Structure 1
Amino acid sequence: MEVFNTPSKIIVTCNRRLSPYLQGEIRRLGFDIKRGFATGVELMATVNDCIRLNLNLHCASQILYSLDTFSASNPNELYDRLLTLPWENLIAFNGYVSVTSNVNNPTISTPLFANLKVKDAIADRIKSKKGLRPDSGPDLHKTVVHLYWQDNQAEIFLDTSGETLAKHGYRKHPGKAPMLEALAAGVVYATAWDGQSTFVNPMCGSGTLAIEAALIATNRKPGLFRMNYAFMHILGYDEQVFFAERRKLKEQVNKKTQAKIIATDLSQEAVDIARMNAKTAGVDPLIDFHVCDFADTPLPDGPGAVVFNPEYGERLGIHTKLEATYARIGDFLKQQCAGKRGYVFTGNPDLAKKIGLHTSRRIEFYNGKLDCRLLEYEIYAGSRRTKNENPSDANLH
């Protein structure tokens, strides 16, 4: 089984509601998409193509290469089918394999049992051919196999990523309640920011939004921050393919971007962490950091995006302090951000109403399991809310 140059079905997974932005990235790389769905994208490609995808995508989580699709009504049928696959051509007898799964089968009470049957089939097959069993365990740092099993239909994949791609590797200091890097990239894409005008991130926390904006503006890909992927541990891997792709990443970095990126926070500690993360990502010269109240954020003239990711607490209950903060965010956008587009990312629609401005778009995201919105506001010079204007957004949901 030669997977590096043999096309097969590829599933690129992502967090819910990131699929439209992931599809855009994949198309820009020149791949044809067969199907998009809520948590990913399907296409046809080789494992060598997967190397390119792993290194380039900001919004992806895992990149899975399909080995076989089959019917299995119980664990024994699963084991018997997997035992027929030539695992000895994919995994070294002295290697290490881990198994992940998405299982919904009436005969399985825990996915761990399904994982065990997969490991047993792989190890037994390799031992029968090579005389030794590979090690196995939960770590995702070497060869990874993924089982998708719904009712009686099963599909087995090579996970070419291993550790999730959603963490981009530059954030050595996460800070408090950081936004996942893949989500932050999706938020930047959702603003349709042009990568040339101003990008302002008040209340920046650990700096993820500003850093992702800088990475996108300079065409820096996540593959620049990572040197281990699961595809490296599949038999037949040619490291020259990886290093050639990585050289392309370095060559395509745009060091002459005109983008102006500003990140501020009231906390000196948060700004210090954000600055360290930006340095690790290689974009610290592009970002102007300031310790100040968000209302004192310096704003250059001209167009651009102003993106807030404030705290949003619990969805229910009284938040007197947060209500005041959201009202001040609305005042700041209205009074100081004329000519720009304002954005507030929040999981609390009641607090969002305190902003007191009408949204031009409400873009759906999830932050973990929390249903969130990126609220867009077009700020016009001279606009004012009249005395009788309802500050709430009746359509916010």
Structure 2
Amino acid sequence: MADFTQTSTISITCPKRITPLLRQELSDLGFPIIKERLAGIETKGTLNDCMMLNLSLRTAHRVHFMLKDCRPKNGEELYNELIKIPWEDYIDKHGYVSVTSFIKTRSVTNTQFANLKAKDAIVDRIRQKTGTRPDSGSNLNKTVVFIFWKNDRAQIYLDTSGESISRRGYRTETSVAPMQETLAASLILASKWKPGQHFINPMCGSGTIAIEAALQALNKAPGLLRPNYGIKHILGFDEERWNDLRTDLKNKSEKDFEGRIIATDHDVRAVNATRKNARTAGVDHLIEIKKCDFKETEIPSDKTGVIMLNPPYGDRIGNEKDLEPTYEGIGDFFKQEATGYWGYVFTGNFDLAKKIGLRTNQRIEFYNSTIDARLLEYELY
């Protein structure tokens, strides 16, 4: 059985440019920041800590628990290093294991070759020690091993997340080009919105931004909806401890919040998708979802907050020339309807952004997948 109380390096991955937000999340949870990378952070903790991280982090993709740090010169040496690890303590001999990797070394030019060597070492070790070997394949719904091999250094991890924890489990319906949950949560955290203020989300699409805002307003752990994680398939996993942790996180979340969250879209399919996804997330009673053009979205005047739009920007949806009136309309909407609010537009088209016609307060850098994008901030006097 694995020792879930043993401390090791925990490597947490996230999209590029989101690292500062992940750093703040980890600090708020009381974890030390050991090292920052372009797309992730290293901290210290136990497998028990990995339970908390998987359930709690909004900006992360995966939580990796290090088993070994080595310097193999080729695939054979990688095999020899891996077969020394007591895999029989981590992986059920009747279970299932998959191997994923990031490999950038002159020693190995074929990632699949390295993955195969690693898989062979794992199952050979378990067969030597138990007389039986687990199944293996590409599915990420059971035990997952991750290899990070750059230059002459290889680090071997248990992937305690399995599927990316950006997949919360509530988005059962999508509209055109849905936004990743991690990115939506990051946009909100990067804005000046605070729970208790109004959050207005015209052009809501499938509702990801509005739903993530509701989860943050409730202080609800984003991972509570998802039933499966890689850590649940590691030998020694304590189901009772997991359930107690989930109960504790549920008890810390609020039942309601001040301020209104309003989500609108002119497309009835988007509105229906938002309603269904919000219902799955358990926040449909907290989000006011309406079908209307973005310019007709209600902006409450009793107090202020944030208005956040994610308009199409021509790369994947719509024609750039056809979208110019939309961006001009956003500028007019901000000037005429949103006095006292902070306005935000997330876009990957900087030429179209100029059509908004307002001076930005900030231009916060993000990626939307591989697209260079900005969260444009406007102080609306």
Fold conserved (TM > 0.5)? yes
1:156 maps to what in 2? 156
| Structure 1 residue aligned with 2:204 | 204
Q: Is the 8 A contact 1:223 1:246 kept in 2?
A: no
Give a deviation string over 1:153-193, Cα, whole Å, max 9, x none.
11100011101001111000022100000000000101131
2:50 alignment partner in structure 1: 50
Q: What residue in structure 1 maps to residue 133 of structure 2?
A: 133
> Is the CA contact 1:169–1:222 (under 8 Å) kept in the aligned structure 2?
no
- In the TM superposition, what is the alpha-carbon distance from 1:107 to its structure 2 partner? 3.1
Indicate conservation of the 8 Å contact 2:345/2:375, yes or no. yes
Report 1:119-198 matches (<5 A): 119-198=119-198
Contact 2:2–2:234 (CA under 8 A) maintained in structure 1? no
In structure 1, what is the equivalent of residue 66 of structure 2? 66
Name the structure 1 match of 2:341.
340
Q: CA deviation at 1:40?
A: 1.0
Q: Would the alpha carbon gap of residues 318 and 50 (structure 1) be closer, same or farther in structure 2, given more than 3 Å must change?
A: closer
**1:257-316 CA distances to partner (integer Å, 9 max, x unpaired)?**
10210011001111011011001111111111111111000110121100000000139x
Q: 1:19 deviation in Å?
A: 1.2
Match of 2:376 in 1: 375
AA matched with 2:339: A
Q: Is residue 19–residue 36 contact of structure 1 (8 Å, CA) maintained in 2? A: yes
Q: Is the Cα contact below 8 Å between 1:203 and 1:265 reproduced in 2?
A: yes
Match of 1:80 in 2: 80
Distance in 2, Cα, partners of 1:260 & 1:127 = 58
Query: 1:37-68: CA deviations, max 9, x gaps?
Result: 22111111000000010011111100000001
Residue ranges of structure 2 left out of the alignment (5+ in a row) = none
Counterpart residue number, 1:329: 330
Q: Could you say which residue in structure 2 is the equivalent of 1:313?
A: 314
2:108 is paired with a residue whose SS is: coil
> 1-side partners of 2:307 and 2:168: how far apart?
23
Supply the distance in 2 between the matched residues of 1:232 and 1:331 (Cα, whole angstroms).
Answer: 51
- AA aligned opposite 2:156: I
- 1:389 maps to which residue? none
User: Per the alignment, in what secondary structure is the counterpart of residue 6 of structure 1?
Assistant: coil
Where does the alignment leave 5 or more consecutive residues of structure 1 unmatched? 381-397
1: CA distance, partners of 2:325 / 2:159: 47
Report if aligned partners of 1:73, 1:151 keep a CA contact under 8 Å in 2: no
Q: Sort the Cα spacing of 1:326 and 1:4 in 2 relative to 1 into closer, same or farther, 3 A.
A: same
Deviates more, 1:357-366 or 1:29-38: 29-38
**CA positional deviation for 1:221:** 1.3
Report the TM-score, using the length of structure 2 for normalisation: 0.97
Contact 2:147/2:155 (<8 A) preserved: yes
Structure-to-structure mapping, 1:279-318, within 5 angstroms: 279-301=279-301, 302-314=303-315
| Equivalence for 1:7 | 7
Q: Secondary structure at the match of 2:54?
A: helix
Instruction: Give the alignment's Cα RMSD to 1 decimal.
Output: 1.3
Structure 1-normalised TM-score? 0.93
Provide the secondary structure at the position in 2 that maps to 1:132.
coil
| Structure 1 residue 146 displacement after superposition | 0.3
**Is the CA contact 2:174–2:270 (under 8 Å) kept in the aligned structure 1?**
no
Local SS of the residue matching 1:247: helix
Work out whether residues 50 and 63 of structure 2, in 8 Å CA contact, stay in contact via their aligned partners in 1. Answer: yes
Query: What's the CA shift for 1:227?
Result: 1.4
Instruction: Report how far residue 3 of structure 1 moved.
Output: 3.6
Matched residues, percent identical?
Answer: 50
Aligned residues: 379
Q: Is the 8 A contact 2:63 2:159 kept in 1?
A: yes
Q: How far does residue 318 in structure 1 lie from its aligned partner after superposition?
A: 7.2
What is the letter of the counterpart of residue 35 of structure 2?
Answer: R
Cα-to-partner distance string for 1:128-149 (whole Å, 9 max, x where unaligned): 1111111000001111000011
Correspondence for 1:272: 272
Q: Where in structure 1 do 4 or more consecutive aligned residues deviate above 6 Å? A: none
1:84-140 C-alpha deviation (Å, 9 max, x unpaired): 111111111111100000001223222111110000000111111111111000001
For the pair 1:107 / 2:93, whether they are aligned, the reply is: no
Secondary structure of 1:374's counterpart equals strand
